[in-house]
Amino acid sequence: GRSKRTAEESIKSTNFKKEVAVNGVLEYDESDPGVFTNLVEAFGAKGLEFAELFSLDDTEFERLSPIYGLIFLFKWTGESNTSESVSEVPNLFFAKQVISNACATQAILSVLLNISPETNPEIQLGPTLEELRAFSAELPSDMRGLAIENSEAIRNAHNSFARPEPFIVNEQKATAADDVFHFVAFLPFENHVYELDGLKPGPIHHGAINNNSSWLSVAKTAIQQRIETYAASEIKFNLLAIVRDQRQVLEEERSRLQSILATNNDPQVSAELAQVEANFANETAKRQAWEEENTRRRHNYIPFCVDLFKVLAEKSILPSLIDKANEIARNKRGQGLSPSK
């Protein structure tokens, strides 16, 4: 096997490409289940998708069971919570975040690389993630972060979701007045629940899983406590669950019901099968909508807009359109509405 020293030397000798630090998919307004699902599929993983959670109710968790991990988005203040128990956990994949604007990718990988193929055979991580996990197994957390940065497949998938930018500007560090948001992961591991945050020194232990309860009850308590630390006016939170590809779930259920109907023409089973077929059609339509949205997200509309403005200016139409737009914006502000609405 590869020794720890050899692996570290291999990473350090590589010429890192800094274009991995891009603005785009991984910022606050992009916590989209369709984007993240396509992102993990671009990594090569199969059998997974993301679902947005609108509450912490147990019924919401049960509806999507099994849930392999949670991705939580919150306002980052940079303050350290002294009550957090941070420690190293044997065999748990934890990596320090060394890539700018990539906390979502980091949180997603924290869940994926801790999914056990033995206990979850329905999930296929694919060669890229399996090789990354094997290569970095004996590395310290900071070197694991560098291994993620050095993965060409992960870099290409990450960058492929960046929105085209008309101008290249120098990055500025956020100030106290800026709203900065951060993604972290919650997941079960060896009968305990951990929070993995690449900006922390190590995994955060939130408690053991009781025999009569789900790991989600422990995670829910930790998330609720995090939310309660903010003022009542702070509402910018988002929670995504990493779950099975719902099309696979429905296909299995369809096969089960069809097997029953092959020997017993039960009207109730027929009705259940019809509902499964309808649900499968909805899931297929959802996936198609995600594909269309992500295609539009990737498309560069800037040349079209520039040419449109040129034509409007040549026809002396642009000034009147600008005046009209400004008037509409003023009227909306007078009504207490956002100009963008």
- Please confirm, yes or no, whether 305 is among the known catalytic residues: no
Instruction: Answer whether 275's CB lies under 8 Å from 19's CB.
Output: no
Give the DSSP per-residue string, 30-86.
G--HHHHHHHHHHHT-BSEEEEEES---HHHHHHH-SEEEEEEEEE------TT--B
Rounded to whole angstroms, the Cα distance separating 22 from 58 reads 37
- Tokens for 46? 């199969």
Alpha-carbon distance of 146 to 105, in angstroms, equals: 14
What angle (nearest 5°) sits at the alpha carbon of residue 189, between those of residues 187 and 193?
55
> Would strands 192-196 and 181-189 be described as parallel, antiparallel, or unpaired?
antiparallel
Give the catalytic positions in this structure. Answer: 103, 182
